[in-house]
Amino acid sequence: MLFDGISHQVPDTDPGETAEWLDSFDAVVDARGRSRARYLLMKLLERARTKQVDFPAAVSTPYVNTIPADAEPWFPGDEYQERRIRAYIRWNAAAMVTRANTRTEGIGGHLSTYASSAALYEVGFNHFFRGKSDGGFGDQIFFQGHASPGIYARAYVEGRLSEAELDNFRHEVGGGGLPSYPHPRLLPDLWEYPTVSMGLGPITAVYQAHVNRYLNLRRLVDTSASRVWCFVGDGEMDEPESIGALGVAGREHLDDLIFVVNCNLQRLDGPVRGNGKIIQELEAVFRGAGWNVIKVIWGSRWDALLAKDVDGVLLDRMNTTVDGEYQKLAVESGAYIREHFFGPDPRLRKMVEDLSDDDLVSLPRGGHDYRKLYAAYKLATEQRGAPTVILAKTIKGWTLGPEIEARNATHQIKKMSKAQLRTLRDRLYLTDDIPEDALEGDPPYIRPAEGSDALEYLKARGRVLAGPVPVRVVRRAPVLRPDAKVFEEFASGSGTQAVSTTMAFARLLRNLVRDPTVGALMAPIVSDEARTFGLEPLIAEAKIYAPDGQNYIPVDADLPLNYAESSSGQVLQEGITEAGALATFTALSTAYATWGQPMVPVYLFYSMFGFQRIGDLAWALGDMRGRGVLAGCTAGRTTLMGEGLQHDDGQSPLLASTNPAALVYDASFAYEMAVIMEAAVTDMLGPNPLDHFWYLTLYNETYPMPALPEGEAGAVVRQGIIDGAYRFAERPQTAGDLAATLCFSGPMWSVAMEAQRVLAERYGVAADAWAVTSWTRLRTDALEVERWNRLHPESEPRIPRITAALGAGRDPVVAITDYMRAVPDQVARFVDRPYLSLGTDGFGRSDARSALRGFFEVDAAHLVVAVLQQLSLDGRVKPSVVADAIAESGIDPEREAPFKVHTEGQRSLLCPDVDRDVEERAALLLSLRQCRRGDEGDLGGFQHEMHGRRFCFDLDDGPCYQRAPLLDPVRQRPGIEAARDRRVGAGVTAHGCTMSASRVISICPRCWNNSSRIWSRTAPFVSL
Ligand SMILES: Cc1ncc(C[n+]2csc(CCOP(=O)(O)OP(=O)(O)O)c2C)c(N)n1
Ligand SMILES: [Mg+2]
């Protein structure tokens, strides 16, 4: 597909020939009209496509089937048997949901979605979907999540599920239950791909196909015999994730990818596009993204009508009728359809005069027409060079009877009455299988008898297609272990060289990629931040995966570390799509099941844009039992400096801790990171891998990395790193008996060490320091122990790891983190000592690291004060000592907490109650104006009461900063100088008040909080 073929910029090599073609076209328009001309053009475009002559995307075609009746292939199946099998499945799906809701009122389930898509699935099951019973990998099928009743019902008919299991639909807790939706975590022999959170199925499917191609081009797995099918609802296509990755599939020509969109024109509450046409809209979207589009709109009985439509009136009616109207027609009588669809135009009315009203009602939509669907699937599987979408028009609740079909409430119907079940039975021709008395009580489950033609047919199809789907198989893989050298260098520390954990991680990743045993299985993934994370050497060496190779000379070709792309590249540089990158990670992290090929995906991302941005995909990853390493880089609310509110991550370990499959680690040192990575890689490629993934935060603060202790002590530290904590520094010798414990993680180690020194030297407090690598693991352990103790009251109580590690007593423990206090507070109630935590709750700021740590009160001064204050609680330290420490450190005890949201940020001068208090505003304005009459040089100041606070406005440039005790004079001076230089005009004052040439715009939080001085210089206060 070409996207930018601008013909007038291309030289005409044969103008005579061009003129001939154009003249002929003009002649057709003149002689035969525009419709005919349009038809010929479309034919030409079709031909061009089949001849693979690229042309600019033409994004929509008329509202008819893409495959004309005369181009439909012969249908190879036994239609009678297939219809019968379909009837059994339809019935069982409805019976299962009805029974579940009879057993437990309100347990839920969906009837209408599968009812609308039964034919879409059955054509696939009977003719296309490949299973795994031949030892191959089969197709990867993403089912519409809430169509699961139909998938269970088929598995029952195939003999793969029992009646008891069907009866446990949505009753999982007692064991042997069937989950509501596709959840491999809970039904790991059957489900492969979790899909029910709208949009995740489509994006995961696209990246599954993308990863399949990657594995194939890297010669790790031959994926060529498998296809990826993704079934998705038309309402679901509104999710950004559903459409966001379509371009990837088009760009990479992922022709093994087939989407089937179930266009029943409805979502949960009502029409998807009442005033428009979802099929047309989606056609344009998919075509624009480079996909083949096959529309299956009309069933076979429309073919004869379309054949009569010589003037194009029917086509015109089809094109101009909106979806809302089509839905109305779907619930109305034949007479209504005659009157309102065909009626207005006499030519149309004539077209259907020989059809009865009943005939009109039963003119079906294409998505229920087996032959049309077969034709579409066949073409979809044969087309090369681009992915294909089948847009199939269906009716929601099809066959469930007039009270349910196409009704706005259809999605919510969970139970069918006896009368509705009878209608369904009759409609499905199941009167022989379900006698009248069987309709009393619970509707029965039915399946074809052993030896029946239907069952034999089913089995025969299964043999041809290599068994049933879905089925999840995990094959044993050889145990692999990287060379110990990969990790060794990190144990010895970095000497005097300052490095960050991110830099160390990049180096470790490179070592892993180079490892002869596991190197090929490493799959580094980034979403456009490789440079930030120091991966240039890896890119230069392992190259970026690009299915088309590199068809240009990169601008940095002459540099040793250049932007190298290759079709066999190893690094997945996904561009700026965290969702896409996580979907890639998901496909690789489950390759052990999908392809019997364990991989080690390592996705490095901006930690702020991880769980927070794509938490639901990470949830699905946990459901899918993915294995891999997620590395949240540029982590820490104060460690990432300069980037500010949207970037400063103070919560990702907490968000990650909510995912039961995540093992969350926050390392301070390169050796900790290496020990964690060694555990991760050896587990993933080991004999009994956990279905877990690792989340590791990495920082860009550099410091000399300490060495891992050797010998026995080193082994203890290693175990502590994995378990979550180890003692990093013993208590220093001090004169008295004052003692405390500092717990740190990540870059807060240096703060803890500085505090340890000050506490010992100035206050005689001996504090030991613990490195906590995983608050979450400590908490999980403690919760397990707590539960065990609760349930074993007569046994000797067990002791949680963290409780044992920190012991009991009155010496306080103060934890410090670069995240919210809730991170270390995870273990608070398991510590038998006074416990306090310091953290970075609140919105981040852009500033230097030291300023941020001061602002969030996580610097050494605050840590010292915190320890002293804790010691003062039982009288071992006098409160006055704590107060002196506060004063000496320049800490302003009256400032508002940095996490208090209503004091956040800059305020409009007359904020916060500006609109509430017009009079106050006017009074202030007056004061300002009067004040301005003083002149340049010494404007003096004035005070103003507003909203119960006293505002002191200094209109001279001196006093404000001198009186602001928190400001660091070194940092402040340049600001003042700069502000002086902008005596008139817009600017920001030394501490953040902003003003324009005409007025003071805002007042900084410091002024606001500290009796609210405003330092304004000479800005004239003309208007407010
Ligand atoms: C992210 C998300 N939001 C909302 C829902 C709740 N939900 C379940 S089904 C559904 C409607 C689906 O409509 P459509 O995609 O058209 O599927 P249909 O049932 O019509 O085939 C909604 C909103 C969900 N599952 N996931
Ligand atoms: Mg729908």
Confidence of residue 697 (pLDDT cuts 50, 70, 90): very high
Assess contact for 272 and 235: CB atoms under 8 A.
Answer: yes
Confidence of residue 8 (pLDDT cuts 50, 70, 90): low
The two three-digit tokens of residue 810, written as one number: 């009155």
What are 633-680's pLDDT values in tens digits?
999 999 999 999 999 999 999 999 999 999 999 999 999 999 999 999
What are 220-254's pLDDT values in tens digits?
999 999 999 999 999 999 999 999 999 999 999 99
Residue 126 CA to residue 121 CA, distance in Å, equals: 9
Confidence of residue 56 (pLDDT cuts 50, 70, 90): low
Structure-token match 């100041």, residue found: 941
Residue whose CB lies within 8 A of the most ligand 1 atoms, among 234, 261, 262, 267, for a mutation test: 267
Residue 386 CA to residue 2 CA, distance in Å, equals: 12
| DSSP 8-state class, residue 111 | S
The backbone torsions φ and ψ at residue 169, rounded to the nearest 5 degrees and listed phi first, read: -60, 125
Lowest mean pLDDT among 409-418, 577-586, 596-605: 409-418
Partner residues linked to 388 by β-bridges: 258, 292
Q: Which atom of ligand 1 is nearest to the CA of 200?
A: 1
Assess contact for 916 and 908: CB atoms under 8 A.
Answer: no
What are 516-566's pLDDT values in tens digits?
999 999 999 999 989 899 999 999 999 999 999 999 999 999 998 999 999
pLDDT at position 883: 97
The backbone torsions φ and ψ at residue 293, rounded to the nearest 5 degrees and listed phi first, read: -120, 130
Residue 112 CA to residue 414 CA, distance in Å, equals: 9
Answer whether residue 414 shows pLDDT above 60: yes
Residue 401 Cβ inside 6 Å of ligand 1? The answer reads no
Amino acid at 153: A
| 3-class secondary-structure state, position 632 | strand
Phi-psi region of 343 (alpha: psi -120 to 50; beta: other; left: phi over 0): alpha
Angle, CA of 621, 623 and 625, to the nearest 5°: 70
Q: Summarize the confidence of residues 960-987 as an average pLDDT.
A: 33
Query: Which ligand is in closest contact with the Cα of 195?
Result: 1
Confidence of residue 979 (pLDDT cuts 50, 70, 90): very low
Residue 113 Cβ inside 6 Å of ligand 1? The answer reads yes
Answer whether residue 996 shows pLDDT above 80: no
What are 11-42's pLDDT values in tens digits?
788 999 999 999 999 999 999 998 889 889 88
What are 762-778's pLDDT values in tens digits?
999 999 999 999 999 99
Long-range contacts of 309-317, Cβ-Cβ distance < 8 Å, separation of 24 or more: 309/351, 311/347, 312/35, 313/345, 313/347, 313/348, 314/348, 314/351, 315/62, 315/63, 315/64, 317/341, 317/342, 317/345, 317/348
Answer whether residue 1001 shows pLDDT above 90: no
Instruction: Note the pTM of the prediction, 2 decimals.
Output: 0.87
The two three-digit tokens of residue 991, written as one number: 């501490």
Assess contact for 235 and 268: CB atoms under 8 A.
Answer: yes
Residue 182 Cβ inside 6 Å of ligand 1? The answer reads no
The two three-digit tokens of residue 548, written as one number: 């088309």
Residue 1005 CA to residue 993 CA, distance in Å, equals: 8
Answer whether residue 504 shows pLDDT above 90: yes
| 3-class secondary-structure state, position 9 | helix
Q: Summarize the confidence of residues 744-769 as an average pLDDT.
A: 98
Assess contact for 82 and 122: CB atoms under 8 A.
Answer: yes
Q: Kindly give the distance from the C-alpha atom of residue 968 to the centroid of ligand 1, in angstroms, as a whole number.
A: 55
Residue 394 Cβ inside 6 Å of ligand 1? The answer reads no
Answer whether residue 939 shows pLDDT above 50: no
Answer whether residue 352 shows pLDDT above 50: yes
What are 470-489's pLDDT values in tens digits?
999 999 999 999 999 999 99
Amino acid at 615: G
Assess contact for 778 and 772: CB atoms under 8 A.
Answer: yes
| DSSP 8-state class, residue 527 | S
Amino acid at 354: D
Neighbours of ion ligand 2 (CB under 5 A): 233-235, 264, 266
**Residue partners of 213: CB distance under 8 A and separation at least 6:** 223, 252, 254, 256, 547
Residue 1021 CA to residue 929 CA, distance in Å, equals: 6
pLDDT at position 12: 84
Q: Summarize the confidence of residues 892-899 as an average pLDDT.
A: 92
Q: Summarize the confidence of residues 703-718 as an average pLDDT.
A: 97
Please name which of 898, 797, 804, 806 lies closest in space to residue 853, comparing C-alpha atoms: 898
Concatenating the DSSP letter of every residue in 48-92 gives: HHHTT---BPP----SS-SS-GGGPPPP-S-HHHHHHHHHHHHHH
Q: Kindly give the distance from the C-alpha atom of residue 161 to the centroid of ligand 2, in angstroms, as a whole number.
A: 28
pLDDT at position 176: 92
Angle, CA of 878, 880 and 886, to the nearest 5°: 120
pLDDT at position 311: 83
Residue 234 Cβ inside 6 Å of ligand 1? The answer reads yes
Q: Kindly give the distance from the C-alpha atom of residue 94 to the centroid of ligand 1, in angstroms, as a whole number.
A: 19
Residue 242 Cβ inside 6 Å of ligand 1? The answer reads no
The two three-digit tokens of residue 117, written as one number: 């898509």
| 3-class secondary-structure state, position 258 | strand
Which residue's alpha carbon is nearest to atom 4 within ligand 1?
Answer: 198
pLDDT at position 983: 31
Phi-psi region of 151 (alpha: psi -120 to 50; beta: other; left: phi over 0): alpha
| 3-class secondary-structure state, position 648 | coil
Residue 680 CA to residue 603 CA, distance in Å, equals: 14
Please name which of 806, 813, 808, 787 lies closest in space to residue 798, comparing C-alpha atoms: 787
What are 591-645's pLDDT values in tens digits?
999 999 999 999 999 999 999 999 999 999 999 999 999 999 999 999 999 999 9
pLDDT at position 1016: 36
Q: For 420-499, where are the E strands, in sequence order?
A: 498-499
Partner residues linked to 293 by β-bridges: 389
pLDDT > 90 in the chain, percent: 81
Structure-token match 């496909």, residue found: 587
Q: Summarize the confidence of residues 887-916 as an average pLDDT.
A: 67
Burial of 819 (0-12, 13-18, 19+ CB in 10 A): buried
The two three-digit tokens of residue 805, written as one number: 């590690």
Assess contact for 391 and 282: CB atoms under 8 A.
Answer: yes
What are 321-344's pLDDT values in tens digits?
999 999 999 999 999 999 999 988
Which residue's alpha carbon is nearest to atom 13 within ligand 1?
Answer: 267
Q: Kindly give the distance from the C-alpha atom of residue 197 to the centroid of ligand 1, in angstroms, as a whole number.
A: 8
Angle (deg, nearest 10), helices 453-464 and 79-103: 100
Q: How many Cα atoms within 13 Å fall on the side-chain side of residue 344?
A: 8
Q: Kindly give the distance from the C-alpha atom of residue 937 to the centroid of ligand 2, in angstroms, as a whole number.
A: 71
Assess contact for 166 and 445: CB atoms under 8 A.
Answer: yes
Residue 236 Cβ inside 6 Å of ligand 1? The answer reads yes
Residue 667 CA to residue 652 CA, distance in Å, equals: 14
Amino acid at 843: F
Residue 897 CA to residue 903 CA, distance in Å, equals: 9
Which residue's alpha carbon is nearest to atom 19 within ligand 1?
Answer: 113
Q: Summarize the confidence of residues 103-117 as an average pLDDT.
A: 95
Which residue's alpha carbon is nearest to atom 22 within ligand 1?
Answer: 268
Q: Kindly give the distance from the C-alpha atom of residue 262 to the centroid of ligand 1, in angstroms, as a whole number.
A: 12
Residue whose CB lies within 8 A of the most ligand 1 atoms, among 112, 113, 365, for a mutation test: 113
Longest Cα–Cα distance of the chain, Å, equals 109
Partner residues linked to 729 by β-bridges: 769
Partner residues linked to 572 by β-bridges: 525
Query: Which ligand is in closest contact with the Cα of 202?
Result: 1
Q: Summarize the confidence of residues 869-887 as an average pLDDT.
A: 97
Average pLDDT of the residues of the chain: 89
Q: Summarize the confidence of residues 774-803 as an average pLDDT.
A: 98
Please name which of 318, 322, 307, 312 lies closest in space to residue 347, comparing C-alpha atoms: 312
